[in-house]
Amino acid sequence: MRGRAAYGEGAQTTVESRAGIGALVLAVTLLWGLNWPAMKLAVLQFEPWTFRVVSVLGAGATLMLLAWLSGEPVRLSRRLIVPHLVISFTGVTLWHMLTAYGLLLVGGGRAAIIAFTMPLWATLLSVVFLKERPSRLIVVALLLGMAGLGVLLGPELGRLGAEPLGSLLILLAAMAWAVQTVATKAFAWGIGTMALSSWQLLVGGVPILLVWFALGAWPDFERITVEGVVALLYVVFVALVFCFTAYLRIVRSLPAIVASLSTLAIPVVGVASSAWLLGEAVGARELLALCLVVAAIGLVLLPRTRGSLTRS
């Protein structure tokens, strides 16, 4: 499946410094963490289908314009159309709709915790399909990260059982994101990262748009507030235009397992920001979880980790 990339992929691991990747990881962690309360606020005001049509297609169109203006190659090879359709459906259509409906049933912080079981599913898929073999260091990092999520999730188990549908939707979204992460790594796309992000959003947004038209699910504009509009704009331009593209760059620069583990601190920020913005509870448990996931991310981004995955 993989060959030498025509653009961007082949040189990124050597050209981009650890500091650059670390900066991207930090930015994505903070900004995607803040996205969870923003999504919670936006989806309550705009109705899930409208919210996702505007955010996904708006971000996709913006990224395509930016890619064209920057001179990035944007033409996708014909042989990659089918893989791209699969990735767009799992990573965009399924992720965005499952999280949108899941957020109607569970809190933003709790949803973030469940969604970021993604590294576990991505690790399993990478071992099976990419033949990546995690070192002991990465296994330790995965265990630390899952322990951090467990610290956050433990007190929520009773409530998760009381709201099984919302929790299940978010869990399925996490699995869909894992498929997208691994499949993105599996192919040499031959186009720039902004263009790849744009195609995924635009193609994945088409089914959402069709269902939106079929349902006639128009928002109640009288309920929309300034805060809701700001939340929607944040999702479009920060969470999708910037963070989605930055995450794909991380995926294309690092082994899939390492890239997925780099997201582990996002739910901690999601819980903390949901507490701050939405009044959801937060305390010492979140601090302990933060220590565990930061330790996990530190392990996977250490210099010696770069060579810790082998292919069989």
Residue 45 · residue 224 · CB < 8 Å: yes
The whole-number pLDDT of residue 123 equals 83
Q: CA 121 to CA 115: how far, in whole Å?
A: 11
**DSSP string for residues in 142-206:** HHHHHHHHHHHHGGGHHHHHHSHHHHHHHHHHHHHHHHHHHHHHHS---S-HHHHHHHHHHHHHH
* pLDDT tens digit sequence for 12-44: 444 446 677 878 888 988 898 888 788 878 888
Mind listing the pLDDT tens digit for each residue in 90-137?
Answer: 999 999 889 888 877 876 666 767 787 788 888 888 888 888 877 787
- Predicted TM-score of the model (pTM): 0.77
pLDDT value of residue 154: 64
Domains of the chain, residue spans: 9-311
Please name every residue paired with 132 in a beta bridge, in sequence order, or none if there are none.
311
> For the chain, which ranges sit under pLDDT 50?
2-16, 303-312
Q: What pLDDT, on a 0 to 100 scale, did the predictor assign at position 30?
A: 86
